[in-house]
């Protein structure tokens, strides 16, 4: 189970890939729409060119219409799944648009004087176009976008560029937009953690920390479908604490809860990372084993059974005692897509383990034989 302490990173720095992917998916549609809007506005601002310099505006029509090509980037948000490639396409397109804007100002009479405020639009681009990317990428873009006109002037591309006027206007704006990006990143991080906490609470048994039935059954269904599709084996263990009512009656329900938590911890420790441990209710547990046959599942079950048998629990009254479990193992039958069928097979094997003496592992149809000490 995913734990909240595995934080996604400081506002997106060194963040988990899953966190960044979730952030991108949450903002895909919005960013795509903003690219279309930005493209249309870039073309529509030819009217500003015409007001500023009616003669020179004839030379900027093609450049203004080229902004419409930015709308194509909206399709990238729909079809490109690789986040890094999408970031390169988006930020590269935005920087190219800024270079085009410099050329537009070059073609207008006194364009660099009247159009210097237009660079502010490029400072606010991250706040609307790049919400789906990490804070680090947004900050890097903002710095590069602010520095680009200085660099273009340095190579003689920005005619009549006023370095000091630009710096006084744009760099404070760049700092302000960086602060806005921090605020947006913090807001999304808090939202993400709140949703993760709610998801964890709804999918986890609160006492043991393993999956609950509500979360486990869909996972079982998905794994069975995946196994059928890829021809992989899937096995299931059903576990039940022996004489649990007697434990509650003898030592009290708080001690019974301690026994349940002890079993959950043992199941987690003995299972692989890809296995799913769940508490289905009361003292009944299940372990889903992807890509595992019933013989390997039986071996895991035997390790769990033996570990439980050799574990000592101390009651709240200070009395030490041991407990045992019975386990049923079953493997998904070929071409059987029903998770209920697999649960039924494992449950039947569990019932057989309990009726034949408890504290044992029983496989469906005796595929791997009968294991255990047989101690009642």
The C-alpha angle with vertex 359 and arms to 354 and 362, in degrees rounded to 5, equals: 60
Q: pLDDT tens across 231-252, in order?
A: 889 999 999 999 999 999 999 9
Q: pLDDT tier at 334 (50, 70, 90 boundaries)? A: confident
pLDDT score at 196: 82
pLDDT score at 229: 86
- The ranges assigned to domains in the chain are 17-201, 211-372
Q: How far is CA 344 from the centre of its chain?
A: 33
Residue 207 to residue 321: CA distance in whole angstroms: 21
Q: pLDDT tens across 277-310, in order?
A: 999 999 999 999 999 999 999 999 999 999 999 9
**What pTM does this model have?**
0.67
Write the burial class of residue 136 (CB in 10 Å: 0-12 exposed, 13-18 middle, 19+ buried): middle
- DSSP label at 15? -
Sheet holding 234-241, edge to edge: 211-212, 276-281, 284-290, 234-241, 325-331, 360-363, 370-372
pLDDT score at 231: 87
Residue 25 confidence (pLDDT) above 50: yes
Q: Tell the CATH topology of 211-372.
A: Alpha-Beta Plaits (3.30.70)
pLDDT score at 230: 86
Question: What are the backbone angles phi and psi of residue 158, rounded to the nearest 5°?
Answer: -100, 100
Residue 40 to residue 35: CA distance in whole angstroms: 9
Reported as type and span, the H/E element at residue 370 is: strand 370-372
**Beta bridge partner(s), residue 325:** 241
pLDDT score at 198: 85
Q: pLDDT tens across 201-235, in order?
A: 888 999 999 999 999 999 999 999 888 888 889 99
């Amino acid at each position: 189970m995913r734990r909240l302490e595995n934080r996604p990173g400081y506002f997106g720095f060194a963040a988990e890939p899953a966190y960044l992917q979730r952030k991108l998916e949450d903002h895909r549609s919005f960013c795509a729409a903003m690219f279309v809007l930005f493209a249309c506005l870039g073309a529509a601002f030819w009217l500003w060119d015409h007001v500023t310099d009616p003669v020179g505006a004839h030379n900027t029509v093609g450049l203004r219409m080229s902004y419409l090509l930015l709308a194509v980037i909206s399709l990238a948000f729909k079809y490109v799944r690789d986040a890094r490639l999408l970031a390169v396409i988006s930020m590269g397109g935005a920087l190219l648009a800024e270079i085009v804007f410099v050329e537009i100002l070059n073609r207008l009479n006194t364009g660099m004087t009247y159009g210097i405020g237009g660079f502010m639009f490029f400072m606010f681009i991250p706040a609307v176009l790049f919400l789906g990317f990490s804070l680090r990428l947004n900050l890097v873009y903002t710095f590069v976008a602010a520095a680009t006109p200085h660099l273009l002037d340095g190579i003689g591309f920005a005619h009549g560029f006023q370095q000091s006027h630009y710096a006084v206007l744009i760099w404070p704006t760049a700092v302000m937009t960086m602060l806005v990006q921090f605020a947006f990143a913090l807001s999304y991080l808090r939202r993400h953690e709140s949703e993760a906490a709610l998801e964890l609470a709804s999918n986890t048994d609160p006492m043991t920390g393993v999956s609950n039935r509500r979360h486990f059954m869909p996972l079982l269904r998905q794994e069975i479908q995946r196994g059928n599709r890829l021809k992989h084996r899937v096995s299931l263990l059903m576990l039940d604490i022996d004489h649990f009512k007697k434990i509650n009656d003898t030592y009290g329900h708080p001690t019974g809860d301690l026994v349940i938590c002890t079993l959950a911890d043992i199941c987690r420790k003995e299972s692989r990372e890809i296995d799913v441990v769940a508490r289905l209710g009361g003292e009944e547990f299940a372990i889903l084993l992807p890509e595992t046959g019933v013989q390997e599942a039986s071996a895991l079950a035997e390790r769990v059974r033996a570990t439980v048998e050799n574990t000592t629990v101390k009651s709240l009254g200070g009395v030490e005692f041991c407990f045992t479990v019975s386990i049923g193992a079953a493997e998904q039958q070929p071409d059987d897509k029903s998770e209920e069928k697999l649960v039924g097979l494992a449950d039947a094997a569990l019932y057989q383990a309990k009726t034949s003496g408890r504290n044992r592992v029983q496989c469906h149809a005796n595929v791997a034989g009968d294991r255990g000490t047989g101690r009642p």
